Amino acid sequence: MDLGPYLLFASLEGLVHAAVLSLIALGLSLVFGVMRIVNVAHGEFFMLGAILAWWISGFVFGSPAIGFLLALIIAPLIAGVIAMSSDWLILKHLKYDPEATIIATIGILYIIQQAVLMTFGPDARPVEQPFNYRLDLYWFGFSAYKFFVVFSAIILLFSVWLVMAKTKFGLILRATQLDSETAQAFGIPISTVYSLVFGVGAAIAAVAAVLIVPIQQAHYLMGGEPLLLAFIVVIIGGLGSLRGTVAAAVLIGMSDGIISVFFSPNLAKIIATLFVVIVLLIKPNGLFGSEKT
C-alpha cells in the first residue's frame, strides 16, 4: 500500500480506537476524580456491557438495529446497577480506603469474570452490526459502522461534559470532587453521590462495549486490555480531568493505530507504557492534572 492511503487507514483505525478508549477511560477517571478510588474492576464492567449486548440482541428478531439500540439502553443500565450494588455492598463498608478498595475491586473483577464464564460460557459471542455498509475507499474498504462508533463517542463525551459543567448534578459532583467533607457539610448526600458515580462510571464503560461489540465480539476475558489502556490514558491525562482524559485517549489511540499499522501492535503498547513513565517523571499529575492532589 502507498504511504498516503496507508496513513489514512492507520489514522481511521486510530480514531476508532481513540473514541472507544476515551469513553472507557472517562468512566475510570470519573470514579477516581470523585471517589478517589482506583477501580480495578472497570474492565469487567466493559466486558459485562459487551456480553449483555449479545444477550439482549439475541431476544430480538428482525432488524439487528433494534436489538442493538435496545442493548445500548439496557446493557449500561444493568452494568450500572451491578456497579452501584457492589459499591453499596462492599466499597461503602471499606469507607473508600484507597488500599482496601484496590483489593476489593480486584475481587469484584474476578467475581464478575467468573460469573460471566459460568453463566454465558467461554465462547466469543458475535453481535450483528446495526447496519452493514462497507465504504470503498479505493485502496481499502472501511466499515461505515466504525464512523458511527466515533460519532456516538463524541456525542457521549460532549453530553458528559454538559452534565458536569452545566447541571446541578454536575455541580454536586464537582463539589464532592473538590472537597467531600465540605460538600457533606452543605447537605450533599455523599454516599448516594458515590454510589451514583460508581454506577455511571461502569455504565459509560458498558456503552463503549456495546458500541465496540459489533466489531469485536463479546468474550469473558475481553476486559483486561482496555483496563490497562484506560489506566495509561488516565495517568497521562491526569486522574479526574475530563479534558486530559480525552486528550490522552486521542493521543494513545492515534499513536496505537498508526504505530500498529506501520510497525507492530506490541511496539505500540511498549511506547504507550514508556510514555506513562516519562509523564510520571516529568509531570507526576498528568498532562492536565491539577498540581494539588
Partner 1 sequence: MNKNNIINKNISRRKLMKGVAAAGSIAAMPGFVRYSQAASSAPIKIGFQVHRTGIGAAYGRWYDRTTQAAVKVINDGGGINGRPIEIVAEDDGTDPKRGAEALEKFANQHKCDVAFGTLFSHVVIGSAPRAGELKLPYFVVSEGHHVASGMLNRYTLQPGITDVKSQVQAMAPFVRNNLGKKVTMVYPDFAFGHDHRDYFSAAFEAQGGQILAKVPIPPTESSFSKYFPKIPRDTEVLYHVMVGPAVLTFVKELGEFYGNKSPKLFGFIDSVEAVDLSTPGLEFLDGSYFWEGNPRYAQSNQTEHDKFYRSAVGVDENGASVSDSKDVSTYAHMFGCWETLHIIKNGMEEAGYSGVGDRSKLIEAVESMSNMPLSQAHPQGAKIFNGKTHQTFGHQYITKMTNGKLVLAHTTSIEDTFYPDEVDYTQQSF
Q: Would you state the cell numbers that stand for residue 38, as one nine-digit string?
A: 482506583
Radius of gyration of the chain (CA): 19
CB 29 within 8 Å of CB 237: yes
**Residue 110 near partner 1 by CB under 8 A:** no
Closer of 124 and 278 to partner 1 (Cβ) = 124
* Polymer length of the chain: 293
Closer of 36 and 219 to partner 1 (Cβ) = 219
In DSSP terms, 136 is beta-bridged to 141
CA dihedral 244, 247, 249, 250 (to 10 degrees): 180
Interacting residues of 212 by C-beta distance below 8 A, sequence separation 6+: 20, 50, 149
Which of 66, 77, 119, 121 binds partner 1 (CB under 8 A)? It is: 121
Dist. CA 162–CA 160, nearest whole Å: 5
Which of 63, 85, 119, 132 binds partner 1 (CB under 8 A)? It is: 132
CB 195 within 8 Å of CB 84: yes
Dist. CA 213–CA 223, nearest whole Å: 12
**Residue 147 near partner 1 by CB under 8 A:** no
Closer of 158 and 263 to partner 1 (Cβ) = 263
**Residue 273 near partner 1 by CB under 8 A:** no
Number of residues that bind partner 1 (CB under 8 A): 32
Collapse the DSSP code of 129 into the 3-class scheme (helix H, G, I; strand E, B; otherwise coil) and give the result: coil
**Residue 59 near partner 1 by CB under 8 A:** no
Closer of 130 and 244 to partner 1 (Cβ) = 130
Question: Scanning residues 163 to 202, which ones bind partner 1 (CB under 8 A)?
Answer: none
Which of 29, 176, 245, 260 binds partner 1 (CB under 8 A)? It is: 260
CB 54 within 8 Å of CB 218: yes
Which of 159, 225, 270, 280 binds partner 1 (CB under 8 A)? It is: 225
Closer of 34 and 149 to partner 1 (Cβ) = 149
Q: In the complex, which residues of this chain contact partner 1 (CB under 8 A)? A: 1, 6, 9-10, 13, 117, 121-124, 126, 128-129, 132, 134, 136, 140-143, 215-217, 219, 221-222, 225, 257, 260-261, 265-266
